[in-house]
C-alpha cells in the first residue's frame, strides 16, 4: 500500500495519501496539488512548481519571481498575475527585484499608477493574463492537467510535467 501518514497530517485519500485539500475562494474544494505556472510572452510555460499543502497565492509570487531571476539572470521587465497574488508587499518586492510594471488582475486596494507606468500598460498586461488563463484551460482540457490518472506523488509530478512539455511542443510547432 502507501506510506504511513506523518503525525499531525490529515489523510485526504486512501489511494493517494500525498493529495492535499485545495480550497478555492469560500466554497470550492478540490483534492490534489496546487500548481504555480510561469509563462512567457510566447505563451510557453517557462516554469512550474507543484506546491505542497495549500499555500496562499500571495505567499508564492516572490518565490516564483526569485526562481525566474535565478534561472534567467534577471527579473522580467513586465509581469501580470492573478488577483490572489495581489498585495502591497508583493508589489514592493517585485519592484525591488527589478520588475518595472507589475499588474494584478484584481487590484486589491492597489492603485494602477503604483503598479504600472500607464493605464494602457495595465490594460495590455491584464489582457495578457487573460491569455494565460486560456492556456491553462487548454492544459486542463486537451493535455489532461484537469485530472491525473497516475498513482503516487512522483508519478503525479511526471504526469504534470509531461502535460506541460506536450503543450509547449504543440505551441512551439504553431509558432
pLDDT digits (tens, 9 = 90+) for 63-98: 999 999 999 999 999 999 998 899 999 999 999 999
Q: Report the alpha-carbon distance of residue 70 to residue 87 in Å, rounded.
A: 23
- Which of 145, 124, 142, 160 lies closest to 50 in space, CA to CA? 160
pLDDT for the residue 112:
92
Mean pLDDT computed over 121-127:
94
Q: Report the alpha-carbon distance of residue 94 to residue 92 in Å, rounded.
A: 6
Higher pLDDT, 32 or 69: 69
pLDDT for the residue 1:
43
Task: Compute φ and ψ for 155, nearest 5 degrees.
Answer: -70, -35
Task: Compute φ and ψ for 43, nearest 5 degrees.
Answer: 100, -10
- Which of 16, 96, 108, 19 lies closest to 58 in space, CA to CA? 108
pTM for the predicted model, two decimal places: 0.79
Amino acid at each position: 500500500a502507501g506510506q504511513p501518514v506523518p503525525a499531525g497530517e490529515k489523510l485526504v485519500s486512501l489511494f493517494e495519501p500525498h493529495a492535499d485539500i485545495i480550497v478555492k475562494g469560500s466554497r470550492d474544494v478540490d483534492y490534489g496539488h496546487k500548481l504555480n505556472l510561469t509563462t512567457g510572452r510566447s505563451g510557453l510555460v517557462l516554469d512550474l512548481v507543484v506546491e505542497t499543502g495549500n499555500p496562499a497565492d500571495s505567499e508564492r509570487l516572490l518565490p516564483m519571481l526569485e526562481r525566474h531571476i535565478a534561472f534567467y539572470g534577471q527579473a522580467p521587465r513586465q509581469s501580470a498575475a492573478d488577483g490572489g497574488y495581489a498585495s502591497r508587499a508583493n508589489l514592493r518586492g517585485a519592484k525591488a527585484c527589478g520588475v518595472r510594471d507589475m499588474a494584478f488582475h484584481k487590484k486589491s486596494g492597489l492603485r494602477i499608477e503604483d503598479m504600472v507606468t500607464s493605464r494602457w500598460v495595465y490594460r495590455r498586461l491584464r489582457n495578457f493574463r487573460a491569455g494565460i488563463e486560456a492556456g491553462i484551460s487548454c492544459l486542463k482540457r486537451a493535455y489532461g492537467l484537469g485530472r491525473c490518472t497516475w498513482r503516487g506523488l512522483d508519478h503525479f509530478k511526471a504526469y504534470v510535467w509531461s502535460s506541460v512539455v506536450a503543450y509547449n511542443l504543440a505551441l512551439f510547432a504553431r509558432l
